[in-house]
């Protein structure tokens, strides 16, 4: 191999690396308003506050804060069937104004269906989730839930790895949501 072909290959390698970095930077910039800084409306007066899974301490604290502000008196929490966050083990579920239920399926689509069992078309609901999930949650709940929904992000800290994962996951899940449709409300979920 002569010196000129080595130099040519090195140039192509640099251009390829620069192209890949440019695509990554472009994806990151496009995703900023979608996943990092979604539009956040002020929570309206509502009939219900809905914490969608998992019921992290931050989401529960935000639900309590909204309740203390008088946004709504009732709280619905999406919980898994088993484990530390299940209705049986999560002490927050024992409060008189809190209802904890497991959606079927245990997905955002299932959570929208569960909400339809609790809220009518005239109800307003504040839904709490983490920031990268806001846009897809709005789409699914606007499409599948009967109630008027305002999705509010909670401030859950994510490291760079989690942000990269969420960019990929939320994008793929958003595309899937466009094809899958809505789930049926569970018959046994009624309050």
Angstrom distance (rounded) from CA 90 to CA 80: 10
Kindly state whether residues 102 and 154 are assigned to the same domain: yes
Which tokens is 9 given?
A: 């290959």
Written as tens digits, the pLDDT of the chain (191 aa) is 676 777 777 778 788 787 787 777 777 777 777 777 788 888 889 999 999 989 999 999 999 999 999 999 999 999 999 999 999 999 999 999 999 999 999 999 999 999 988 888 889 999 999 999 999 999 999 999 989 999 999 988 889 899 889 888 998 998 898 888 888 777 665 55
Spatial separation of the C-alpha atoms in residues 63 and 127, rounded to whole Å = 9
Statement to judge: residues 33 and 56 lie in one domain: no
Q: Which residues contact 76 (CB under 8 A, 6 or more apart)?
A: 48, 49, 50, 51, 98, 99, 100, 101, 114, 115, 118
Model pTM?
A: 0.84
Domain that holds residue 163: 48-189
State how far the Cα of 172 lies from the Cα of 176, in Å rounded to an integer: 6
Instruction: Indicate whether 93 and 12 sit together in one domain.
Output: no
């Amino acid at each position: 191999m002569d010196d000129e072909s080595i130099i040519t290959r090195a140039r192509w390698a640099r251009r390829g690396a620069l192209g890949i970095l440019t695509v990554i930077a472009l994806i990151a910039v496009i995703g900023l308003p979608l996943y990092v800084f979604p539009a956040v409306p002020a929570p309206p007066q509502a009939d219900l506050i809905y914490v969608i899974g998992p019921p992290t301490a931050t989401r529960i604290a935000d639900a309590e804060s909204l309740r203390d502000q008088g946004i709504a008196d009732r709280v619905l929490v999406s919980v898994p069937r088993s484990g530390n966050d299940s209705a049986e083990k999560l002490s927050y579920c024992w409060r008189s104004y809190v209802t904890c239920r497991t959606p079927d399926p245990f997905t955002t689509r299932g959570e929208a269906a569960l909400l339809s069992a609790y809220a009518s078309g005239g109800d307003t609901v504040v839904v709490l989730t983490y920031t990268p999930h806001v846009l897809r949650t709005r789409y699914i709940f606007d499409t599948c839930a009967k109630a008027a929904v305002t999705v509010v992000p909670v401030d859950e800290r994510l490291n760079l790895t989690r942000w990269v994962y969420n960019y990929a996951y939320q994008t793929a899940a958003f595309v899937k949501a466009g094809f899958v449709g809505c789930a049926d409300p569970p018959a046994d979920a009624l309050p």
